[in-house]
Structure formats: C-alpha cells, structure tokens
C-alpha cells in the first residue's frame, strides 16, 4: 500500500488565490487593504525568517503589512507599547506577536493585550477558552491547527466518531488541534513526553497528528493501516548532499509510514504552507468583520 500524499502546498496556493481575489474586492469597496501588524522581539533567525515569510505572503496577496521590530533588549513596556499601537491603528485588522518572546518579557500579559478582534493568531486566552468550551465559538482559531483541520477536510476525513491521536500538547499546536478535533466530534487522545506505550496508542488511531519536534520519530509500524497522518513537525537535519548542508524532515518517518497510512502530508510542503495561508485568511476575515460583513 502506498499512501496518498496530501499536497499542502497545492491546497495553500488555491486558498491564497481566493484570498488575493477577496483582498482586491475589499480594497475596491473600501479604498484600503486588510492590514496585518507584526511584533518581533529579538534576533532569533528562525523567528525573523517566519516573520519575513508571513509579511511577504500578505503583501503578495495585496494586504498591508506593518512591522514593529524590536531589539532583544526591548523592555516589557516597549513591547506593550508596540501591541497597543497596533490595537489602536484602524488600518490594522490582525496582530501577530511572533513567539517565543525573550525570557524577560511576560508572554501571557502580551498575548492577552492583543485586541480580541485582531487576534488572528488565536492565542488570546479568551479565544482559546472559547475553543475549549462547548457551544462557544472563538473569533479566530490558531493558524497551524486550523491548517491541519483544513487538510483533513480536503482529504474527506470522516472525523465524527473517529479515533484521533494528537502527539504533542503545546499551546500553539497540540492542545488547540486536540480541541478542534473534539469540536469535530472525534474521540481524541492527547499524548506527550510522559505517555506510556505511545506506539500502542497510535496504532488505534484513524487520524494521527504528530507535533513533537523530533525527526522521523513516529514509525510506519506504529500506524493503523489506512490511517490519515498529518505531520506538523519541522526538524532541520544535517545533509551534506543538500545545497545548504541541511534539510527539513517531519516527526513521522515518511518512508515507512507511507507504506501503511492511507494518506500522509510531507515535510516540507504539507502543513507549513497552510500556516501562513490561514493567518492571511484570519486577517481577511477580521477586515470584513471590521466593516460589519462576515465574508
């Protein structure tokens, strides 16, 4: 058996084409584009690269992008002032605070300062709280977990009553995707570094979400035949044959997994492109909401 490859890049490209058309419609109607504001603190190269990619993607869809790039020495008050400036700016519809923040910055305070209506990352405690509660809907859901859900939907995955296993329980991926799967009526098991008999648990899963940050950790013989596997992991490994001397692999050992799974995402080209796309979609949604429309 060879698994169907879930092409996140192609799905993301298609959604981005629709976003660009919607952005043009918004601009034509109101005379200004949807705007994303970004706060980046410090000089972590990976964070700077993510921010560049997000801003470039927004701009290529016709959105405005404003950056508050602060040095690692920035004070709590300076970071708070950057968030406040974006909260108060009517041309900004979405605010992204790139994580992690330097250790001396109080991250929970910063995240809860982001205006609920502009929380396109979906990390405000009220949005996460609504996601966790039955009968409540958040204004926004986090981009990477939402990207996983869109990929599952595009695969035609039957989530109702399915056994879903999420490996990883981080605030940005594992926990919110588990909540979203529960909202979709899956029976969800969340695994983490203290879980016993992980392969046994994974073997019962119709849907596996791997978000642990360990290269090639989940093996093909852990999977139930036909399972749908979404690999969120993005791990840099040395590869002297690659042009840059390294390449990226997921948390799932794709060579063995694709012999057993029914469908699987690849790394790169799976969840990664969906993350930025869903951030753009949330910003557009916020812009429409700001003018009293839902689409």
Tell me which residues are annotated as active site: 54, 98, 121
Specify the residue, 26 or 144, whose C-beta has the smaller distance to ligand NAP.
144
Residue 191 sits in the site that holds ligand NAP (CB under 6 A) = yes
Residue 25: CB minimum distance to ligand NAP, A: 27
Strand runs labelled E in 124-233: 163-167, 187-191, 207-210, 228-231
Specify the residue, 172 or 284, whose C-beta has the smaller distance to ligand NAP.
172
Distance of alpha carbon 112 from alpha carbon 139, whole angstroms: 14
SS3 of residue 6 by DSSP: strand
Specify the residue, 146 or 258, whose C-beta has the smaller distance to ligand NAP.
146
Dihedral (C-alpha) 276, 277, 281, 286: value to the nearest 10 degrees?
10
Residue 172 sits in the site that holds ligand NAP (CB under 6 A) = yes
Q: Which residue has the tokens 């977990």?
A: 145
Residue 194 sits in the site that holds ligand NAP (CB under 6 A) = yes
Residue 170 sits in the site that holds ligand NAP (CB under 6 A) = yes
Interface segment toward ligand NAP; rule CB under 6 A; list 90-98, 110-118, 167-175, 257-265: 167-175
Distance of alpha carbon 150 from alpha carbon 282, whole angstroms: 13
Specify the residue, 138 or 174, whose C-beta has the smaller distance to ligand NAP.
174
Q: In the set 192, 219, 247, 289, which binds ligand NAP (CB under 6 A)?
A: 192
- 184 to 79, 122, 161, 197: CA distances (angstroms): 36, 18, 9, 26
Residue 203 sits in the site that holds ligand NAP (CB under 6 A) = no
Residue 234 sits in the site that holds ligand NAP (CB under 6 A) = yes
Distance of alpha carbon 83 from alpha carbon 253, whole angstroms: 40
Q: In the set 37, 174, 220, 262, which binds ligand NAP (CB under 6 A)?
A: 174
Specify the residue, 19 or 218, whose C-beta has the smaller distance to ligand NAP.
218
Residue 8 sits in the site that holds ligand NAP (CB under 6 A) = no
Residue 168 sits in the site that holds ligand NAP (CB under 6 A) = yes
Residue 23 sits in the site that holds ligand NAP (CB under 6 A) = no
Residue 113 sits in the site that holds ligand NAP (CB under 6 A) = no
Residue 34 sits in the site that holds ligand NAP (CB under 6 A) = no
Non-local (6+) Cβ contacts of 40 within 8 A are 47, 48, 51, 67, 68, 69, 70, 98
Is the Cα torsion angle 63, 56, 13, 183 positive or negative in sign? Answer: negative
Residue 218: strand pairing partners: 252
What end-to-end distance do the CA atoms of the chain give, in Å? 41
The dihedrals phi and psi of 231, each to the nearest 5 degrees, come to: -105, 105
Residue 263: strand pairing partners: 4, 228
Interface segment toward ligand NAP; rule CB under 6 A; list 28-36, 52-60, 122-130, 232-240: 232-240
Interface segment toward ligand NAP; rule CB under 6 A; list 18-26, 28-36, 152-160, 209-217: 209-217
Positions that interact with ligand NAP (CB under 6 A): 144, 167-170, 172-174, 191-195, 198, 211-214, 232-235, 271-272, 275
């Amino acid at each position: 058996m060879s698994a169907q490859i879930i092409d996140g890049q192609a799905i993301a490209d298609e959604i981005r084409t629709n976003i660009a058309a919607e952005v043009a419609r918004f601009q034509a109607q109101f005379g200004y584009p949807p705007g994303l504001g970004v706060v980046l603190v410090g000089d972590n190269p990976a964070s700077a690269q993510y921010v560049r990619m997000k801003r470039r993607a927004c701009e290529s869809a016709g959105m405005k992008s404003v950056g508050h790039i602060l040095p690692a020495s920035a004070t709590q008050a300076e970071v708070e002032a950057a968030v406040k400036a974006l909260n108060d700016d009517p041309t900004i519809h979405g605010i992204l605070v790139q994580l992690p923040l330097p250790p001396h910055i109080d991250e929970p305070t910063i995240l809860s300062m982001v205006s609920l209506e502009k929380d396109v990352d979906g990390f405000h405690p009220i949005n996460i709280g609504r996601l966790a509660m039955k009968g409540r809907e958040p204004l926004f859901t986090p981009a990477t977990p939402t990207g996983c859900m869109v990929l599952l939907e595009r695969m035609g995955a039957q989530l109702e009553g399915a056994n879903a296993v999420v490996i990883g329980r981080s605030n940005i991926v594992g926990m919110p995707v588990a909540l979203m799967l529960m909202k979709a009526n899956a029976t969800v098991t969340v695994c983490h570094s203290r879980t016993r008999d992980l392969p046994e648990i994974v073997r019962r899963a119709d849907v596996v979400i791997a978000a642990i940050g360990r290269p090639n950790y989940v093996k093909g013989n852990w999977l139930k035949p036909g399972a749908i596997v979404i690999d969120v992991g993005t791990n840099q490994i040395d590869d002297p044959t690659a042009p840059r001397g390294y390449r990226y692999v997921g948390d799932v050992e794709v060579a063995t997994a694709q012999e057993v799974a029914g469908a699987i995402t690849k790394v790169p080209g799976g969840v990664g492109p969906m993350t930025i796309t869903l951030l753009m979609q949330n910003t557009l949604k916020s812009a429409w909401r700001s003018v009293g429309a839902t689409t």
